[in-house]
Amino acid sequence: MLHFLFLFSLILTSTNVLAQDFCVANLEGVFTPSGYACKPESKVTSDDFVFSGLGAAGNTSNIIQAAVSPAFTAQYPAVNGLGISAARLDLAPGGVVPMHTHPGATELLYVVHGRITAGFISSSNAVYVETLTRGDIMVFPQGLLHFQISASKRPSLAIVSFNSPLPGLQILDFALFANDLPSALVEKTTFLDDAQVKKLKGVLGGTG
């Protein structure tokens, strides 16, 4: 019995040494695939765990009439290593978040006010679309193409959460038309004609 208690105490001691409650990111350090190194705990304060960046509306005066204000590791170092983050989504009337993916996280969207038509496409190409109103939530599984569109004549607001501090983002339209991927390749892979591709590249700032 004494031998068992001794071994149990060693396990507890080892666990306490290895366990870490949090890892506030040291943004001055080197970023690695596993995140940032931790800020020394002696320099961590309660202010590190509070973020006010989602309190103000984003600027929707842009081509998509939408704004996303993130609370990822770069903006909110306290989420580093905790497997969670958030963002604020503002949609002006007519606003849209084009088809996109988050390769590193599942997304949960909560509508604060307004109406938002949202949906995703599964890997079997099944389509799931709903128009959400105040209080509704919708989940978008990790890595799947999804979108949000304003369905209101007034501004809409949603708060989004992710199960990663670094969800990643790739917007399909920008990936195809906002870079220097040659138009001939875009045409071959999308079945669009040359005029359509060049028009979209012109709108989104692409070349080639």
pLDDT in tens, 51-63: 999 999 999 999 9
How many whole angstroms separate alpha carbon 93 and alpha carbon 106? 26
21-45 residue pLDDT tens: 999 999 998 888 778 999 999 999 9
Triad 119, 123, 126: Cα angle to 5°:
50
pTM here?
0.86
Residues 127 and 187 sit within 8 Å (Cβ to Cβ): no
CA–CA gap between residue 2 and residue 150 (Å, rounded): 67
The per-residue pLDDT for range 110-160, each reduced to its tens digit, is 999 999 999 999 999 999 999 999 999 999 999 999 999 999 999 999 999
Nearest to 200 by CA among 173, 181, 180: 173
Query: Residue 163 has which token pair?
Result: 């199960």
